[in-house]
Amino acid sequence: MMRPLAEMQAEVLDSMPLLGEIDVGFADAIGAVLSRDVDAPEDLPGFENAAMDGFAVIAADTVDPGVDLAVVDEVAAGAVPSVTLTSGRAARIMTGAPIPAGADAIVPVEMTEGSHEGLVRVLEAASVGDHIRPAGGSVKAGARVFNAGLRMRATHASVMASMGVRPRVWRRPVVAMMSTGDELVSPSTPTLKPGAIRDSNRTLMQGLLTDLGVEVRDYGIINDDVGAFETALEEAVKDADAIVTSGGVSMGAYDIVKLALRDRGDVGFWKIAMQPGKPFGFGTVSDVPFFGLPGNPVSVFVSFEQFVRPALLTMMGADRLFRDRVEGVLDDGADTNPGKTVFVRVTTVRDSDGRWHARKSGGQSSNVLSALAFADALAVVPAGTGRVEPGGTVELEMIHWPEARSRREALGDR
C-alpha cells in the first residue's frame, strides 16, 4: 500500500522536536528562527531627525521664496542641537541629526543658496514636517515587530540590531549525513573501476543542508554492510540531532539501511505515492529523527524537499515550511502516473503574456541528475491527475527563484 504524500508529510512534521532556545549575536541569528515574539522596547527612530542635509527652519518663515534666514547653529549626526530656533533663524543640519527645538521643517541644501555671512537664502517654501523623520516613524515603542517562528534574514537581524534587542532563537540542528552503496567512490576518483560510480548524493545533501543553515556532519560513504552501517549510526546518534542517509531503503537484496532498521521498530519503511522518491524510511534511532532517502539522486532531492527540508525547518521552529508555488503553463505537457504526485523537473520563463511557462528540463528518470540541475522548478502533478496536455495549467514549485535576468536584460546596453 502506498501512503499519500501529504499524510506522510504531516506524520513527519508532527514528530519533530524543538531543540531549546538560545541567545545569539545579531549576525549569528541569520538563518535561525525566532523563538519569541519581538516587541519594540522603544521608538525607532528614537528621536525626530533630519531626512536630508539642509537647514532646519520654521516653515512659516519660508512662505516667501528667497527669504534670508540667520544661520545660528550647525547640527551634525550624533550631535545635540544647542539653540532653540526662533523666527528668522535656521540651523544647518545633516541627515540623521536631531531637530533643534522650535524647528518644524528641513529645507534641503539643494533648495537654498550659499550660506554666506551667516545667512541662508531659502528658494522654496517649506511645509511643516518636510524632511523630518518623526520619532517612532519606523517602529512605535511597544509595537509587535516580529512574530516567533520567523526565519531571520539579514534585514530582520538588522532591525533587531537597530533596537538593541538580542535575538532569542531555537538552536539549529546538527545533521549527520551519509551515503550508502558498495558502488560508490569519492567524487575525486579520476578513473572508475567497472561498476563504480562517484558519490553525488553527499554533495547534494551537503548543499541542501547548508542552505537550511544547519550544521552538517559528514559520515562519508558507508558500504552495503549492515555492521558498518550500524557502527556509523551509533556514532551519528551521539553527534547529531537528525540523521539523513541515501540509498538502501528499497527492495534490493543489499538495501542495508532497511535491513538494519526494519526490525528495530522505530523506523518505518514506506512507499510514498510520489514520483520520484517512492521509497522512504522515517522514524527515530535512539530518539534521533532519522530520514532514509532513496539512492537515486533526483529522488534524494525530491524527498529532501518534501520531507527533510520542512521537517528540519519545523525543528528549527519555523512557521513557513514549504517553498513558494506559482501557477504556470506546462508547454510540453506531461504523461504522469495517476496514482502518484509527480514532480516534473522543468525550466521556467515568464513570457510576454505575463504567465510562467514551463518545459521539461530533460529526462524524467530519477537518475537523470542533469535535468534536475537544469531545472528552476518542480511542476507538481497531483495524484489522481495523470496526463497534463501541452499548454495545461500546473503548480510550479520554485526550487530556486533563479537569477533570471542577465546584465543586459536588467541594465540594457549600459
Q: Residue 201 or 314: which CB sits closer to ligand AMP?
A: 201
Residue 378 CA, chain-centre distance (Å), reads 18
CA–CA distances in Å: residue 44 to residues 138, 143, 145, 158: 5, 10, 11, 13
Q: Which of residues 294-323 bind ligand AMP (CB under 6 A)?
A: 294-297
Of 94-102, 247-255, 264-272, 330-338, the window that binds Mg ion (rule: CB under 5 A) is 247-255
Minimum gap (Å) between residue 304 Cβ and Mg ion? 17
Minimum gap (Å) between residue 213 Cβ and ligand AMP? 23
Q: Residue 245 or 314: which CB sits closer to ligand AMP?
A: 245
C-alpha cell at 245: 542517509
The answer to whether 347 touches 374, Cβ cutoff 8 Å, is: yes
Q: Which of residues 293-312 bind Mg ion (CB under 5 A)?
A: 295
The Cβ-side half-sphere exposure at 95, using a 13 Å CA radius, reads: 5
Q: Residue 246 or 306: which CB sits closer to Mg ion?
A: 246
197 sits near ligand AMP (criterion: CB under 6 A): yes
Give the integer Cα–Cα distance in Å for 278 and 340: 9
- CA nearest to 260, candidates 308, 218, 296, 224: 224
Report the residue from 31, 136, 167, 181 that binds Mg ion according to the rule CB under 5 A. Answer: 181
Instruction: List the beta bridge partners of residue 175.
Output: 216, 242
9 sits near ligand AMP (criterion: CB under 6 A): no
Strands 112-113 vs 89-93: parallel, antiparallel or unpaired: unpaired
Q: Residue 115 or 201: which CB sits closer to Mg ion?
A: 201
Q: Which of residues 241-260 bind ligand AMP (CB under 6 A)?
A: 246-248, 250, 252
Q: Residue 249 or 342: which CB sits closer to Mg ion?
A: 249
- CA nearest to 72, candidates 97, 89, 59: 89
| Residues contributing to the site for Mg ion (CB under 5 A) | 181, 247-248, 295
| Residues contributing to the site for ligand AMP (CB under 6 A) | 179, 181, 183-184, 197, 199-201, 246-248, 250, 252, 294-297
